[in-house]
A and B are shown apart, each in its own frame.
Chain A
């Protein structure tokens, strides 16, 4: 059973860089045709997709965060990482990693995109 586990700095000072890692177990990032994503949820608020990475290293970021985000992959350790620079209090959130599923659904014949599974989440607080 595929499982994802986030880890990283829980407290980051304003203007510094947030760093998180997601370790994948029960499956190999290298053998996956699907990309791997980061998603965040500010306290008491909704979900925001940050970006994804393929095992090849190809990335795509949410335009709203693109200038500050870097996602990388370490296939030898079966993990991928998030860096978000120049953080402010607005970046305080629970950060989740998740696998993207991108498949043609038989019933509709169209390409469909969702997230499954998710990690348990890692709270990052931005404060001095």
Chain B
């Protein structure tokens, strides 16, 4: 049981927009801690995608964006591409520990 709740799967056709939610509580996201997102391509390690709610590291396309409000956060992907098919994880901070969502599998139809 993950501290942060994500939908197990989402899907979309190429070119479409999809969003992935990350629901927390008053002890993590709701306490003001930032949310970060990672992309894990099949068979590889997670890679930082969004940090501090809505900041993209160098090299991450602007098709990826993040937002945060109250006790939840969202990752949006626009102009969906086949190479975006991966698992996505949100991460925050709670009671002195780093916590993750259970992950969302994105399927590009």
Contacts and interface: CB of A to CB of B under 8 A. Distances in A.
B7 interface: no
Contacts of A112: 33-34, 36, 51-52
Nearest to B36: A114
A47 B52 contact: no
Nearest to A119: B45
Interface residues of A, number: 26
B24 interface: no
A128 interface: no
Interface string B28-66: 000011101010000011111001111101000000000
Contact of A47 (B34, B46, B54): B46
A1 to B, nearest CB: 12
Contacts of B52: 105, 107-108, 112, 114
Nearest to B101: A46
A120 B51 contact: no
A30 to B, nearest CB: 23
Interface range for B: 20 to 34
Given A105-B52, A116-B57, A121 B45 contact: yes
Contacts of B99: 49
B98 A37 contact: yes
A118 B45 contact: yes
Contacts of A117: 47-48
B70 to A, nearest CB: 15
Contacts of B38: 115
A60 B2 contact: no
Contacts of B55: 105, 107
A63 B91 CA distance: 18
B60 to A, nearest CB: 11
A46 B2 contact: yes
B51 A116 contact: yes
Contacts of B54: 107
B96 interface: yes
Nearest to A100: B98
Nearest to B44: A120
Interface of A: 37, 45-49, 60, 62-63, 96, 100-101, 105, 107-108, 110, 112-121
